[in-house]
Structure 1
Amino acid sequence: MMSFLFTLVISFGLCILCASAELQRFAHSSKHDGSLSFLVLGDWGRRGAYNQSQVAFQMGKVGEKLDVDFVVSTGDNFYDNGLTSEHDNAFEESFTKIYTAKSLQKQWYSVLGNHDYRGDAEAQLSPVLREIDSRWLCLRSFIVDSELVEIFFVDTTPFVDDYFTEPQEHKYDWRGIGPQKPYITSLLKDLELALRGSTAKWKIVVGHHAIRSVGHHGDTQQLINQLLPILQANNIDFYVNGHDHCLEHISDTESPIEFLTSGAGSKAWRGDIKQMNRKGLNFFYDGQGFMSVKLTHTDATIEFYDVFGNVIHRLTSSKLLRSSM
């Protein structure tokens, strides 16, 4: 009898562990009319420098106009090397004191970028930061579910082999990751399961690193090899990233996926664009800016804004007819 109870307890414990391995899910209601809108910003935290404050000001104006429901950060939240701890004043100086507009006092959903991993990565995941500023929510990988859309946030930094094998002068905080390959295998399995079970009208995946980019960093080959086939097989509408300090729109040549880069939250104007691999390129802008997304049951409207708040590119997509302009 004792042996049976011991086996039962162990089995129950394993079930709990299995359940905890699934991607954490956060519900975020759509508006009363069923629509949803949000802003997307990446590569920003520089205590207001490099036009970060100017971008924040324009985000506030657009956020008010669209009545945004939340903000998405594509990573590299704090430069140059993430946060030093939960009590690093860079959190308030680069986030709380910069994004002060009333329209931006909404939930911020954030992933980690490679620069965040160069500091105390776990500090950004800590609930202590949410006590300092309740808007902040950053996890490695998770899902935001509004029924109309499911947004799948993916921790892409551990996919990049060079960060492990050739870190150069940088030191990465791999606590909580464990061995690279089992971590990625488990993450991809959980993501594929969640994507396959999704019944949302729109499916968006957010990561820090680009799958397709003609900017300075270019394509991320590990994501092309390991992540892209899963996205193509599961009817993803948009893959959204940062990393390259620019704004981009590239269409996948093998599926309906649109690749959208919003990594221009502060330092930009790198001055280089890859002449190779430009197939599917619809738009590239090397300066600072951000992106907005508005979704209804039938249509998606995505707009890119420069540091002056001008719309410099618009993508419209329909579940019945896809088009871009």
Structure 2
Amino acid sequence: MAVVLSFLILSLFVASSLSAQPVEIGDGDLNFLMIGDWGGMPSPPYYTDAEHVLAGVMGDKAQEISSDFTVAMGDNFYTYGVKSVDDPRFKETFEDVFTADSLQKRWYVFCGNHDHYGNASAQVAYTQKSSRWYMPDLYYTETFKLNDSNGTTVQMVFIDTVLLAGVTHPELRSLPPSGPEIPNLADDQWAWIESTLKQSTADWLIVSGHYPVWSVAEHGPTDELVKNLRPLLIKYNVTAYFCGHDHDIQHIKEDGSSVNYFVSGAGHLIDSSTEHEDKVPKGSLKYRYGTSSSSSDGAYNTVTITAQSMVVNFFNVKGEMIYTSTLDKTR
């Protein structure tokens, strides 16, 4: 399978260290946007209506909140990723769609299952060609330091859940991930994740990956992540886990746990499935946006972090806020 070859190539890129010096933020708060499953289509015009409209409202919101960066949470190019670092899809689906001046700041990117159907290493390499696309490795971390009296720090850990849990079937989308194709690469990343979380001294610790831990929608929970990632998130007081994969918006929080799970996979379209509603802990689903009157509907979210709180807001293609949640500090 082509994905195996992709994994072998990618083993050369995998990160094994913590981030360098923190990125200095000029203000006393950190503001950023997040979008998942946004990667257009494999035929002209190489973007969907939802992606194009969402790019416009995201640009407006980025300017309004003085966004510091954007996080792209996988499935960056439908349906089979990109072929090389020179693939025109980088321009057609990304550069020529997200054109607002406010979105020209860094994009922190990681791969989803559709990206691994193609040449995922090319997405790492594109970091050297783009002024804003940033994927230095398949998994990596970045720490931000706010300009406040406390010197508040925010560490974001970006992981590759396809290496951890396996790739999904290209056609039978409802099937779960098949398990890691190269176990030693998965083991290396699990060790890196625990080491990174354990060594973190950040005031806020956030983890992001493509597959959900918990989800009520079409794909549902990811068993490998429930088994191995969830305990680490709890153990090291991670405030939130952000993901995509399921094409809706969800906020899930278990009783007795400080970890908030957000699904933000509506950058491409909205899916109404609640197939796995009985597979998440009882009473844990706090919000879901998945009913759509049009396949061109979509949504994204913003995050604002200060020394005291973290606010997660979700917006639809009309620019309307559809959900907000304020999270307390857990570290």
TM-score (norm 1): 0.84
Structure 1 stretch 275-284 or stretch 298-307: which is displaced more? 275-284
- How many residue pairs get matched? 291
Who is 2:33 aligned against?
Answer: 39
The reply on whether 1:133 has 2:130 as its aligned counterpart is yes
Query: Where does 1:17-56 land on structure 2 (aligned, <5 Å)?
Result: 22-23=16-17, 25=19, 27=21, 29-46=23-40, 47-56=46-55
d(CA) in 2 for partners of 1:82 and 1:28? 31
Structure 1 stretch 179-188 or stretch 192-201: which is displaced more? 179-188
Residue 21 to residue 285, structure 1, CA distance change in 2 (3 Å)? closer
Query: Where does 1:61-100 land on structure 2 (aligned, <5 Å)?
Result: 61-100=60-99
Deviations, residues 172-200 of structure 1 (Å, cap 9, x unaligned): xxxxxx96221111111111111111111
d(CA) in 1 for partners of 2:314 and 2:22? 24
Residue 50 to residue 267, structure 1, CA distance change in 2 (3 Å)? farther
Who is 2:315 aligned against?
Answer: 305
Contact kept, 8 Å, 2:69 with 2:106, in 1: the verdict is yes
Identical-pair percentage:
32
Q: Which residue of the other structure, out of 147, 150, 154, is the alignment partner of 1:149?
A: 154
Give the secondary-structure state (helix, strand or coil) at the position aligned to 1:265. coil
Amino acid at match of 1:121: A
Contact kept, 8 Å, 1:38 with 1:294, in 2: the verdict is yes
Give the secondary-structure state (helix, strand or coil) at the position aligned to 1:236. coil
- 1:226 to partner: Cα distance: 1.1
Who is 1:11 aligned against?
Answer: none
Give the secondary-structure state (helix, strand or coil) at the position aligned to 1:145. strand
- 1:27 to partner: Cα distance: 4.9
Amino acid at match of 2:214: R
The reply on whether 1:215 has 2:217 as its aligned counterpart is yes
Contact kept, 8 Å, 2:157 with 2:207, in 1: the verdict is yes
Residue 169 to residue 245, structure 1, CA distance change in 2 (3 Å)? closer
Residue 26 to residue 209, structure 1, CA distance change in 2 (3 Å)? farther
Who is 2:252 aligned against?
Answer: 250
Amino acid at match of 1:227: L
d(CA) in 1 for partners of 2:54 and 2:215? 22
Amino acid at match of 1:282: K
Residue 45 to residue 65, structure 1, CA distance change in 2 (3 Å)? same
- 1:273 to partner: Cα distance: 4.7
Who is 1:12 aligned against?
Answer: none
Ranges in structure 2 where 5+ consecutive residues have no aligned partner:
1-13, 41-45, 146-152, 174-179, 291-296
Contact kept, 8 Å, 1:23 with 1:191, in 2: the verdict is no
Who is 1:284 aligned against?
Answer: 288
Pairwise CA RMSD of aligned residues? Answer: 2.2
Residue 24 to residue 134, structure 1, CA distance change in 2 (3 Å)? farther
- 1:33 to partner: Cα distance: 3.2
- 1:160 to partner: Cα distance: 2.4
**Quick check: which has more Rg, 1 or 2?**
1
Contact kept, 8 Å, 1:144 with 1:150, in 2: the verdict is yes
Contact kept, 8 Å, 2:268 with 2:298, in 1: the verdict is yes
Give the secondary-structure state (helix, strand or coil) at the position aligned to 2:205. strand
Amino acid at match of 2:319: G
Structure 1 stretch 29-38 or stretch 267-276: which is displaced more? 267-276
- 1:271 to partner: Cα distance: 4.3
Give the secondary-structure state (helix, strand or coil) at the position aligned to 2:80. coil
- 1:274 to partner: Cα distance: 3.1
Contact kept, 8 Å, 2:258 with 2:330, in 1: the verdict is no
Deviations, residues 145-170 of structure 1 (Å, cap 9, x unaligned): 1142100011101222464xx67789
- 1:313 to partner: Cα distance: 0.4
Contact kept, 8 Å, 1:23 with 1:141, in 2: the verdict is no
Contact kept, 8 Å, 1:293 with 1:300, in 2: the verdict is yes
d(CA) in 1 for partners of 2:286 and 2:35? 20
TM-score (norm 2): 0.82
Residue 181 to residue 48, structure 1, CA distance change in 2 (3 Å)? same
Amino acid at match of 1:266: H
Ranges in structure 1 where 5+ consecutive residues have no aligned partner:
1-19, 171-177
Contact kept, 8 Å, 1:269 with 1:288, in 2: the verdict is no
Give the secondary-structure state (helix, strand or coil) at the position aligned to 2:113. coil
